[in-house]
């Protein structure tokens, strides 16, 4: 009986968190940012990772509450520790730009989080890693191209442009101008200005 009661308690706690998070989303859509933040915060403080991520967004952008990047980082960290992929991406970006500790430690932790988020299919993380590995102090071009291709195949026109650059310049792949043109054309068709300029050049 005690076990059954505990299970019911857990289900009830999760259901309330889900309901609060949904109410928060609907409130945000209706323009009631303060109400949305309150709902997200209540659910987040019950340990619901989706709500923790939403609280992070509220603090990062100052929606429904004062802008506070440190608090945003805290909530992204909580959601990331529950393997919320977009929170992993956001927390990694926070670590790289504002996080505590030595730059080397922050970068190491951030890259691990970005790799997890990219593996979960987060296009932004794939694109970020692609550029990161291409432009780092010790470039890893093949690795960078792998992530750029993943992001490009997920529809990211900017990453498609960067893949074109890789083929044009032979970065991480054998130089192939025809392949570079193909990627530039796809990127330009998706609205990328740099790709259009490169095609004209």
pLDDT of amino acid 5: 60
**pLDDT band, residue 15 (cuts 50/70/90):** confident
pLDDT score of 163 more than 60? yes
For the chain, state the CA radius of gyration.
21
pLDDT tens per residue, range 57-71? 999 999 999 999 999
Cα(49)–Cα(125) distance, integer angstroms: 19
How confident is the prediction for the chain on average, in pLDDT? 92
Q: Give the three-state DSSP class for 8.
A: helix
Which residue reads 């083929």 in tokens? 167
pLDDT of amino acid 7: 61
**pLDDT band, residue 139 (cuts 50/70/90):** confident
Provide the whole-model pTM. Answer: 0.84
pLDDT tens per residue, range 145-159? 999 999 999 999 999
C-alpha distance from residue 141 to each of 127, 171, 184 (Å): 13, 6, 19
- Average pLDDT estimate for 44-56: 96
Ramachandran angles phi, psi of 55, nearest 5°: -65, -40
pLDDT tens per residue, range 75-129? 999 999 999 999 999 999 999 988 777 888 888 999 999 999 999 999 999 999 9
Asked if 132 contacts 153 with a C-beta cutoff of 8 angstroms, the reply is: no
pLDDT of amino acid 136: 72
* Domains located in the chain, CATH noted: 121-200 (1.25.40.10)
pLDDT of amino acid 177: 94
pLDDT of amino acid 67: 97
């Amino acid at each position: 009986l005690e076990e059954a009661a505990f299970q019911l308690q857990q289900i009830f706690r999760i259901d309330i968190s889900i309901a609060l998070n949904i109410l928060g989303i609907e409130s945000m859509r209706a323009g009631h940012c303060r109400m949305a933040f309150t709902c997200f915060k209540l659910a987040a403080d019950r340990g619901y990772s989706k709500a923790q991520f939403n609280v992070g967004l509220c603090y990062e952008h100052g929606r429904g509450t004062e802008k506070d990047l440190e608090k945003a980082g805290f909530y992204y960290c909580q959601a990331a520790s529950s393997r919320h992929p977009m929170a992993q991406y956001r927390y990694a970006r926070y670590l790289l730009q504002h996080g505590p500790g030595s730059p080397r430690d922050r970068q190491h932790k951030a890259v691990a989080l970005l790799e997890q988020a990219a593996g979960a299919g987060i296009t932004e993380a794939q694109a970020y890693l692609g550029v990161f590995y291409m432009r780092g102090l010790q470039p890893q071009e093949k690795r960078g191209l792998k992530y750029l291709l993943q992001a490009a195949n997920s529809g990211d026109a900017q990453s498609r442009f960067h893949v074109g650059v890789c083929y044009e310049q032979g970065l991480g792949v054998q130089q192939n101008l025809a392949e570079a043109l193909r990627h530039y054309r796809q990127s330009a068709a998706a609205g990328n200005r740099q790709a259009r300029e490169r095609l004209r050049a």
